[in-house]
Amino acid sequence: MASVTFDHVVKRYTADVTVVKDFNVDIKDKEFMVLVGPSGCGKSTALRMLAGLESITEGQIRIGRDIAMVFQSYALYPHMSVYDNMAFPLQMQHMKKDDMDRRVKNASKILGLDPFLKRKPRALSGGQRQRVALGRAIVRNPKVFLLDEPLSNLDAKLRGQTRIELQKLHRELETTFIYVTHDQVEAMTMGDRIAIMNAGILQQVGTPGDVYDRPANLFVAGFIGTPTMNFVPVTTSDSTATASGFTAKLPKSVPAGKGTLGFRPEALTDKPSADGSTLQMKVDVVERLGSDQYLYGQVGGGSSASTPARSTSSTRRANRRSSDRDPWKRFGHVRTSMQRASRRSGGLSAQR
């Protein structure tokens, strides 16, 4: 078994600088777990504590000893060939030459590195160097792989290709992967589950679908999704939410008062909705991305609605998806956890 448990883990550098606060996560055997969050949220520190590169101030981390870590900077030896870089950890274990050769060539075959085994790192592309770093970890046959933002130095095309390769590798090796990234697209596309962090605090753990459809709070709702969720300050009365230039029928009654209404861009449609929900938006920018179009603008008229109510819509995508999930998420001023409503289709009309 290669499960990992963070049990009330705290990392404190000084009395007033705590970078990881009461971190609790159970990672299952053979799971692909992604730690995601903005820069400085403590995700890499959590991984480094797991690897033994940082001390733990409080709490426990329970894991077996057989782990391998892949760093953001590749950390290859420039004077060694690809073969020698991959073989180095096995040489340190004084493994027999035949066994070492078999492991290196097996990893090379998996990663498509056979044509490059005699090359030095300087003669490789960024994607090839990253695969060598992965190969150096694979040859050890670890129970757990730790990957600290391994794709951040690659260009957009290579990141997409390497994401696919990592998922295939996970299936082939059938071992536990713990992956750290600040890119929520990587988290959503690669992880079996996602642990979202902010300011050293664990915000939510769940599958990509769970955190997208049922965000635990405003931070998760705004961090997960591209484009991000829209937030509009509203006044609620029974099952209606209103703001300047904005009226929406809610799926169920909520307490009267002020709050924040969140909705995904794909909840918007250019077709009139049956329940009379409308949104008046002055469009500032249109981004045309082939199959999708994103509209950026201000909701309502006057200064009171323009600042907090930036709205983004994908009209083509909305026509396909507006009935798939409940579009409304209400966040109260005091209680920031989402009040989940029953699923119901809904839409808004954007006017230019």
Considering the domain architecture, whether residues 94 and 200 belong to the same structural domain is answered as yes
Q: Which residue bears the tokens 């642990």?
A: 195
What is the rounded CA–CA span in Å between residue 89 and residue 142?
Answer: 12
Give the C-alpha separation, 134 to 111, whole Å: 8
CB atoms < 10 A from the CB of 10, how many? Answer: 16
DSSP H/E element including 18: strand 17-27
DSSP 255-286: EEEEEEEEE-GGG--SSPPTT--EE-EEEEEE
In a domain, 182, yes or no: yes
Does 247 map to a domain?
A: yes
Ramachandran category for residue 52: left, alpha or beta (phi over 0 → left; psi -120 to 50 → alpha):
left
For the record, the structure tokens of 330 come out as 């209400």
Q: Are 123 and 117 in contact (CB under 8 A)?
A: no
Q: Which of 218, 252, 277 is the last residue of a domain?
A: 218
Same domain, residue pair 109 and 148: yes
Question: Considering the domain boundaries, does residue 346 fall inside one?
Answer: no
Instruction: Tell whether 73 and 205 lie within a shared domain.
Output: yes
> Would you call the peptide bond into 38 cis, given omega within 30 degrees of 0 as the criterion?
no
Angle, helices 82-92/126-138, rounded to nearest 10 degrees: 20
Whole-number pLDDT of residue 280: 77
Note whether 178 and 172 are within 8 A (CB): no
Rounded to an integer, what distance in angstroms lies between the CA atom of residue 153 and that of residue 306?
37
Q: What is the CATH number of the domain that holds 194?
A: 3.40.50.300
| Same-domain pairing of 189 and 127 | yes
Residue 347 lies in a domain: no
Same domain, 190 and 235: no
Q: Are residues 209 and 234 in the same domain?
A: no
Closest CA to 201 of 184, 222, 186, 216: 216
Residue 60 covered by a domain: yes
Q: Which of 218, 237, 265 is the endpoint of a domain?
A: 218
116 and 48 within one domain: yes
Cα separation of 85 and 235, whole Å?
Answer: 62
0.85 surpassed by pTM:
no
Which residues is 137 bridged to in the sheet? none
In this predicted structure, what is the pLDDT of residue 198? 97
pLDDT by residue for the chain (352 residues), tens only, comes to 689 999 999 999 999 999 999 999 999 999 999 999 999 999 999 999 999 999 999 999 998 778 888 887 778 999 999 999 999 999 999 999 999 999 999 889 888 899 999 999 999 988 888 889 888 988 988 889 999 988 887 778 878 888 888 898 899 888 999 999 999 999 999 999 999 999 999 999 999 999 999 999 999 999 998 888 888 888 888 888 888 777 888 888 888 888 888 888 887 777 777 767 777 778 888 888 888 788 888 876 532 222 223 344 433 333 333 334 566 565 553 232 233 332 333 333 333 3
In a domain, 50, yes or no: yes
At which of 218, 246, 262 does a domain end?
A: 218
- Domain membership of residue 41 (yes or no) is yes
pLDDT at 343: 33
Does residue 85 sit in the same domain as residue 129? yes
Domain of residue 325: give its range: 227-332
- CA-based angle 219:225:231, to the nearest 5? 55
Q: How many domains does the chain have?
A: 2
| In a shared domain, residues 110 and 206 | yes
- Within a domain: 344: no
Q: Which amino acid would we find at residue 154? A: L
Q: State the pLDDT at residue 180.
A: 95
What six digits make up the tokens of 332? 């109260």
80 and 47 co-located in one domain? yes
Same domain, 144 and 272: no
Identity at 267, one-letter amino acid code: A
Confidence at residue 310, expressed as pLDDT on a 0 to 100 scale? 38
- What one-letter code names the amino acid at 54? E
* Per-residue confidence (pLDDT) for residue 158, from 0 to 100: 77
Task: Examine the domain organization and report whether 41 and 131 are in the same domain.
Answer: yes
User: Using an 8 Å Cβ cutoff, are 226 and 185 in contact?
Assistant: yes
Per DSSP, what are the bridge partners of residue 6?
A: 25, 61
Q: Is 239 exposed, middle or buried (0-12, 13-18, 19+ CB in 10 A)?
A: middle
